[in-house]
């Protein structure tokens, strides 16, 4: 069983839709949670970074962490065609520095 | 300032050849990481440097893989006697320090082993 599970999709939505992306994890040592966006043939770029349980909002993006359920989510409001990319969840513990990634969800927003 | 850069962007090699992949981290970043991204496997950690030393190299898949970092800056990942299963995108990231610091990724090197 993988430490981080993420549905690879693909997920296709119309422009303007609310998108919900999710990851579950099994390692209770994970304390830092990130969402990266990766366009085709590019490196991942950081979208959201959270430490504690709860919600964090940045523009159209909201990251949610529920440590008790070992579940994290990323919501995208008013999705745009430019949001079409692969979204990767990543997490790490307080000791060590490696990130453990989900497989990534491929998202397409159709105009 | 400039982001993380990697070279070459693409590398095609024949099975059994050695390859070297280069990473230039963001200036001033003391921590440097190598990951591998392959279809169906997602992003996998390979090795991490703090300065010139590698406290965690547990992700290297075999002794054909090695990496070094000199001057606390540039890093080279070397794959000896390449195999077809080594085909993947090799990503480098750097961060200001370690712990909870954000890791910034380069564009990757796409390696194809024929």
pLDDT score of A55: 92
Give A39→chain B minimum CA distance, Å: 10
pLDDT score of B100: 63
| Chain B residues close to A88, C-beta within 8 Å | 42-43
Q: Which of B34, B39, B43 to mutate to test the interface with A (most CBs of A within 10 A)?
A: B43
Residues A41 and B37: their CA atoms lie apart, in Å, by 11
Numbered residues of chain A with Cβ closer than 8 Å to any chain B Cβ = 32, 34, 36, 41-46, 49, 51, 88, 90, 92, 94, 96-104
pLDDT score of B39: 82
pLDDT score of B99: 63
| Chain B residues close to A98, C-beta within 8 Å | 33, 45, 48, 56, 59
Task: Indicate the length of chain A as a whole number.
Answer: 111
CA dihedral B10, B14, B20, B26 (to 10 degrees): 20
Q: Which of A98, A74, A20, A108 lies closest to B91, judged by CA?
A: A98
> What's the mean per-residue pLDDT of chain B?
93
pLDDT digits (tens, 9 = 90+) for A46-98: 999 998 888 999 999 999 999 999 999 999 999 999 999 999 999 998 877 78
Q: Kindly tell me the burial class for residue A28, based on how many C-beta atoms sit within 10 Å of its own C-beta (0-12, 13-18, 19 or more).
A: exposed
Task: Indicate the length of chain B as a whole number.
Answer: 114
- Predicted confidence band at B62 (pLDDT cuts at 50, 70, 90)? very high
């Amino acid at each position: 069983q993988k430490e981080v599970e993420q549905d690879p999709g693909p997920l296709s939505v119309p422009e303007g839709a609310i998108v919900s992306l999710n990851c579950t994890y099994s390692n209770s040592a994970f304390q830092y949670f990130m969402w990266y966006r990766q366009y085709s043939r590019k490196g991942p770029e950081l979208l959201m970074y959270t430490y504690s349980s709860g919600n964090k909002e940045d523009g159209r993006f909201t990251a949610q962490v529920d440590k008790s359920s070992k579940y994290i989510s990323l919501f995208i409001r008013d999705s745009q065609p430019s949001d079409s990319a692969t979204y990767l969840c990543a997490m790490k513990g307080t000791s060590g520095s490696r990130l453990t990634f989900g497989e990534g969800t491929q998202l397409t927003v159709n105009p | 300032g400039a982001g993380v850069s990697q070279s070459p962007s693409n590398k095609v090699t024949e099975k059994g050849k050695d390859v070297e992949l280069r990473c230039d981290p963001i200036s001033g970043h003391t921590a440097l990481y190598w990951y591998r991204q392959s279809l169906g496997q997602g992003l996998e950690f390979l090795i991490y440097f703090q300065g010139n030393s590698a406290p965690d190299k547990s992700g290297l898949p075999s002794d054909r893989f090695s990496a070094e970092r000199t001057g606390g800056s540039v890093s080279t990942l070397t794959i000896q006697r390449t195999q077809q299963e080594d085909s993947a995108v090799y990503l480098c990231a750097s961060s200001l320090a370690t712990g909870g610091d954000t890791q910034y990724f380069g564009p990757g090197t796409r390696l194809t082993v024929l």
